[in-house]
Amino acid sequence: MRGVYIIWLREFKRFWRDRARRIGGFAQPIIYLALLGVGMQNAFKVFGGGEFSYVKFMFPGILGMTVLFTAVFSAISIIWDREFGFLKEVLVSPVPRSSVALGKILGGSTTAMLQAAIFLLLAFTPWFYGFSLSTLWKILAVVPILVLLALSLTSLGVAVAARMTSFEGFPIVMNFLLMPLFFLSGAFFPLQGLPGWMDFLTKIDPLTYGVDALRGIMLRGVELGNAAASPFAQYAAWFKDGDILAIGLSRGYPDPSALSSMAGRASLPVQAHPLWLDLLVMAGFGVFLFAVALWQFNRTQQ
């Protein structure tokens, strides 16, 4: 346990002393929210019927993205330590290799949680969920999910980095793995109405269940759009008069009751799976990757 603590402390200090890394890790999700969130606002109005708040829908996905990239790329320190000889010194010490791997995983998870904690402060702003007791309870509820995600994803990074020897190869391999995981998780778009092959890929993506759990908690009780302002509801209101209704039906317009039903269905489902299923899949994914990371690290060469 002393070896685990020392490795964890070293990873934490390296992160905390690197100002550019701290600022960059916080600025990246802000850029995504500011540029992509605002830019896609109008395109997603149809889901809310009127004034659809895409940035509120996108916030849990960007939160998952922050944990994903910070946790996974923290494992590049293993390649750095191997390059400059520190890893060799650690591996020939009496400290078990499993303790070294566990320290790396805990260190990377801690840095990912710090980045997520800073980003979570934005949830209290008026542009997202507002400063309220409800928002505070939601943030406290998502913390265990973020911890589980951080441990799982850092284990993935350690499992890959333990067998690699070049700085150039690690980002290429990780981007090859992470970009499909991220885009198929539903962080940027709802997972409804997708082609069959894409729907299958989203269901086998473990990050999908993490984003789904985060969104289900953060958007609970949050109004994303005004269904009464949807075009369907407006058309239904226009057809209140009997004469206008007869003219509309004669010209092939749908019945107002059907329009009202369509307006009710214009709302966006925010959670595709039960919370217990999301947690179960994430826990299974985390245990599997943790075991793989320990196994790979035990097989690594000095």
Q: What does the alpha-carbon distance between residue 61 and residue 189 come to, in Å, rounded to a whole number?
A: 9
Side chain identity, residue 20: A
Better-scored residue on pLDDT, 191 or 226: 191
Backbone phi, psi, residue 26, to 5°: -85, -35
Q: What does the alpha-carbon distance between residue 148 and residue 289 come to, in Å, rounded to a whole number?
A: 12
Q: What is residue 101's predicted lDDT score, i.e. its pLDDT?
A: 83
Per-residue pLDDT for 286 more than 80?
A: yes
Per-residue pLDDT for 66 more than 80?
A: yes
Q: What does the alpha-carbon distance between residue 216 and residue 225 come to, in Å, rounded to a whole number?
A: 16
pLDDT digits (tens, 9 = 90+) for 219-263: 876 655 554 444 444 444 444 444 444 444 444 444 444 444 444
% of the chain residues with pLDDT over 70: 77
Residue 193 carries which DSSP code?
S
229 CB contacts (<8 Å, ≥6 apart)?
Answer: 49, 50, 51
pLDDT digits (tens, 9 = 90+) for 22-41: 777 777 777 777 777 666 66
Q: What is residue 49's predicted lDDT score, i.e. its pLDDT?
A: 47
CA 117 to chain centre: 14
Assigned token pair, 70: 């910070």
Assigned token pair, 226: 């005004």
Backbone phi, psi, residue 229, to 5°: -90, 5
Residue 268 carries which DSSP code?
P
Instruction: Tell me the DSSP string of 65-134.
Output: HHHHHHHHHTTHHHHHHHHTTHHHHHHTSSS-HHHHHHHHHHHHHHHHHHHHHHHHGGGGSTTTT-SSHH
**Residue 179 DSSP SS3:** helix
Quickly list H helices, the chain: 2-17, 19-31, 38-39, 45-48, 54-73, 76-83, 86-91, 97-120, 133-161, 169-183, 196-204, 206-218, 231-238, 242-250, 256-264, 275-299
Decide if 26 contacts 119 (C-beta within 8 A).
yes
Q: Kindly tell me the burial class for residue 9, based on how many C-beta atoms sit within 10 Å of its own C-beta (0-12, 13-18, 19 or more).
A: middle
21 CB contacts (<8 Å, ≥6 apart)?
Answer: 15
pLDDT digits (tens, 9 = 90+) for 133-183: 888 888 888 899 999 988 988 888 888 887 777 777 777 887 788 888 888
pLDDT digits (tens, 9 = 90+) for 69-95: 888 888 788 887 777 777 777 777 777
